Amino acid sequence: MPQNRICALFDISYPIIQAGMVWCSGWKLASAVSEKGGLGIIGAGSMYPEVLREHITKLKKATDKPFAVNVPLLYPDIDKHMAVIEELDVPIVFTSAGNPSTWTPWLKERNIKVVHVVPNVKLARKCEEKGVDAVVCEGFEAGGHNGKDEITSMCLIPQVADAVSIPVIAAGGIGDGRAIAAAFALGADGVQIGSRFAATRESSAHNLFKQAVVKADDTATRLTMKQVVPVRLIKNHFYERVEQAEQRCADAKELRVLLGRGRAKAGIFEGDLDEGELEIGQISGLINDIPSASDLIDRLLDEYRHAVVTLPQLGPSSPN
Amino acid sequence: MPQNRICALFDISYPIIQAGMVWCSGWKLASAVSEKGGLGIIGAGSMYPEVLREHITKLKKATDKPFAVNVPLLYPDIDKHMAVIEELDVPIVFTSAGNPSTWTPWLKERNIKVVHVVPNVKLARKCEEKGVDAVVCEGFEAGGHNGKDEITSMCLIPQVADAVSIPVIAAGGIGDGRAIAAAFALGADGVQIGSRFAATRESSAHNLFKQAVVKADDTATRLTMKQVVPVRLIKNHFYERVEQAEQRCADAKELRVLLGRGRAKAGIFEGDLDEGELEIGQISGLINDIPSASDLIDRLLDEYRHAVVTLPQLGPSSPN
């Protein structure tokens, strides 16, 4: 069997990528995942440039395995983030929330591998044209900021896989090994897992936030704030205020005032479950414990293998 | 390998169920699917009782294989529908859009197998308690009327499979054999496929509607009319009017007036692509032709087998 394309691209053992997540994925989580043979990602979206420098430096002391940094392209200090990334020889950058044309040439000139997050087929094709090495196709069920197209993983993965020849990483709704098998069956070459890693021991999220993820059921999250930037979060008091404002036709300006600043930090990092922005994916309904990242990866692989070997044989004749 | 639970329950060859769909799935489509070894469903939602009688009678002349009728429980003439179902010895009934307590005992007393459509874990559990034989868990990506919870197939299938011991049928986002493999990996025992069968030769939809499904891309549909009853449809002129009304905070009453009567018939059966309600799933972006139902089932099985045998082996040791 040929080597998996994502393992080959990143020089890793398993095509399991831990998503870069604000206030969750610092050096502790990313180094644990990379050391285990997956790809750990430091989420730069919640870090000042000097904080990012500290996290990269600590990660490199903890593991010599490949890792990545996720940079949301709309953040104001992006030039400084990219300077840190270049200076500290980060081998792989995941870019999101922006135009893949902006930074891809600069990163490729420096021999940094580039992955861009896409919500639809059109942007996946554009990424391939612009020289991106792989795309993450992120479904409607994913936590945190999300696209406006509302395309689910089940629909997005096969259409992106058909549209581009570069490797495709599935994200959104992947909480166990069954979903990894599903993503591969749909045409993905790898998976990016967020919510499940947010509720691990090495995640830097507040314990109350992790407990809220564990308690969440299948209906606990909602994609909201669509007039500003769509975000999936656990329904809490803050969410109810947003819904009330939207029901009386509040405009984007009013919603921005209601959102204010620092709500994601308050919810995820400081554990304010009522007024914080509890960004997490819909699959949190499936998450029932807080394991170590290493144990989680062992479990995901076991579940994957079990899902694959128990697939039924359909039809009168066996496959070629 | 033990027999598939859905094949055993319905006495069919393949665990592939053609969804009951208004204006698409009459006796021609349902008999073609059942004759091929899947389960064909007559969609009673768009039929007067005497029309349903005619379709069941014609189906039974065309095939002696098992088939089902789908009955939306909120339709006004439901007593008459059920009387026709009893009189003509329909072996299996799929109920949706209502309470599984209402008709399950009556159907079970008559030795009719009952399947209920659910959008979340809570209703799946209730179905099992009430003696339903199997549940269809329908994801956010599904076409036509949909639940309010917006849970995608990737998240819903494994959580429902974990919650109940009766067989689980996955619906929503299944357009090819890759998605059948994904649904089984996630824990489903069978699949219910709507959109893909809506664009077959035997579907009674208007040819212009079928062409619109073929032309649709990944971003073509939207779940809308959430204040009245959520429905997924192709974005057209009618949809734009709904969106404009919602943007100025129109209430449910105004939206009902805008919807009026007969829009689904106009769109699907009469081919009014501008003003009709073009109910179809998000996976229509993947649908590019109008095959016969028999050829489609052969293709789905081939794609399934290919998806299964090409799944990568992950991890240092092989399974078992």
The per-residue pLDDT for range B171-205, each reduced to its tens digit, is 999 999 999 999 999 999 999 999 999 999 999 99
Measured in angstroms, the CA of B206 and the nearest CA of chain A are apart by 24
pLDDT surpasses 70 at A82? yes
Contact B305 A319 (CB under 8 A): yes
C-alpha to C-alpha distance for A16 and A147, rounded to whole angstroms? 22
N- to C-terminal Cα separation, chain B: 16
DSSP secondary structure letters along B103-146: HHHHHHHTT-EEEEEESSHHHHHHHHHTT-SEEEEE-TT-SEE-
pLDDT at A138: 98
Instruction: Work out the mean pLDDT of chain B and round it to a whole number.
Output: 96
Q: Looking at chain A, which residue has its C-alpha nearest residue B223?
A: A150
pLDDT surpasses 70 at B320? no
**Can you tell me the mean pLDDT for B22-43?**
98
Contacts of A301 in chain B (CB under 8 A): 314-315
Q: What is the longest distance spanned by two Cα atoms in chain A?
A: 62
The per-residue pLDDT for range B263-303, each reduced to its tens digit, is 999 999 999 999 999 999 999 999 999 999 999 999 999 99
Clarify whether residues B186 and B61 are in a common domain: yes
Contact B307 A152 (CB under 8 A): no
pLDDT at A318: 39
Measured in angstroms, the CA of B56 and the nearest CA of chain A are apart by 27
pLDDT surpasses 60 at A120? yes
Contacts of A320 in chain B (CB under 8 A): 309
What pLDDT band is residue B2 in, cutting at 50, 70 and 90? low
Percent above pLDDT 70 for chain B: 98
Task: Count contacts between A and B (CB, < 8 Å).
Answer: 193
Domain that holds residue B226: 207-282
Contacts of A14 in chain B (CB under 8 A): 314-315
C-alpha to C-alpha distance for B31 and B14, rounded to whole angstroms? 15
Clarify whether residues B176 and B255 are in a common domain: no
pLDDT at A1: 56
Clarify whether residues B30 and B161 are in a common domain: yes
Among candidates B152, B176, B285 on the partner chain, residue whose Cβ is nearest the Cβ of A140: B152
What pLDDT band is residue B15 in, cutting at 50, 70 and 90? very high
Q: Is A94 contained in some domain?
A: yes
Contacts of B176 in chain A (CB under 8 A): 158
Q: Is A273 contained in some domain?
A: yes
Mutate which: A146, A192, A218, vs B, most B CBs within 10 A? A218
Token digits of residue A134? 């792989």
**Can you tell me the mean pLDDT for B227-233?**
94
Q: Is A311 contained in some domain?
A: no
Q: Is B80 contained in some domain?
A: yes
Geometric angle at alpha carbon B15, from B194 and A137, rounded to 5°: 55
Clarify whether residues A123 and A160 are in a common domain: yes
Among candidates A121, A248, A308 on the partner chain, residue whose Cβ is nearest the Cβ of B217: A121
Range with the poorest average pLDDT among A43-57, B35-49, B65-79: B65-79
What pLDDT band is residue B319 in, cutting at 50, 70 and 90? very low
Mutate which: B152, B154, B234, vs A, most A CBs within 10 A? B154
The per-residue pLDDT for range B150-167, each reduced to its tens digit, is 999 999 999 999 999 999
pLDDT surpasses 60 at A317? no
DSSP secondary structure letters along A32-92: HHHHHTSBEEEEGGG--HHHHHHHHHHHHHH--S-EEEEEETT-TTHHHHHHHHHHTT--E
Q: Is B312 contained in some domain?
A: no
B305, A314 contact by CB (below 8 A): yes
Clarify whether residues A44 and A109 are in a common domain: yes
Bridge partners of residue B113, in order along the sequence: B92
pLDDT surpasses 60 at B1? no
Clarify whether residues B231 and B295 are in a common domain: no
What pLDDT band is residue B317 in, cutting at 50, 70 and 90? very low
Clarify whether residues B297 and B257 are in a common domain: no
Q: Is A159 contained in some domain?
A: yes
Q: Is A77 contained in some domain?
A: yes
The per-residue pLDDT for range B252-262, each reduced to its tens digit, is 999 999 999 99
Residues in chain B: 320
**Residue B184 belongs to domain with CATH number:** 3.20.20.70
pLDDT surpasses 70 at B239? yes
Measured in angstroms, the CA of B167 and the nearest CA of chain A are apart by 14
Q: How many structural domains does chain A have? A: 2
What pLDDT band is residue A2 in, cutting at 50, 70 and 90? low
pLDDT at A316: 64
Clarify whether residues A216 and A191 are in a common domain: no
Clarify whether residues B58 and B185 are in a common domain: yes
Clarify whether residues A189 and A43 are in a common domain: yes
Tell me which H or E stretch contains A94.
Answer: strand A92-96
Q: Looking at chain A, which residue has its C-alpha nearest residue B179?
A: A186
